Amino acid sequence: MDRHAGKTVRKILEDKKASIKDQPLDPGSPSWDDILDLPWEEIIDGARKRKIGYKTIKKLLGSREYDK
């Protein structure tokens, strides 16, 4: 099972280092503030549908490199 299942981006970010937000996002991506209340599943869906920036956001949120 996915470790972020059922969580919002806001909740996921609580367990991440603040530096995750310093990483560059693709031009045209939504800002972190725009997606804070989206569920993880919507990020995955956006990445699948190739919405601008969602693949990068999914990769960053899924990376253990930014875990506290």
Q: Is the pLDDT of residue 68 over 90?
A: yes
Give the tens place of pLDDT for each residue, 3-59: 899 999 999 999 999 999 999 999 999 999 999 999 999 999 999 999 999 999 999
Per-domain residue ranges of the chain = 1-18+31-68
DSSP 8-class letter at 64: G
Helical segments of 1-68, H only: 9-14, 32-35, 40-48, 54-62
pTM of the model: 0.91
Residues 6+ apart with CB under 8 A from 44: 58
pLDDT at 17: 96
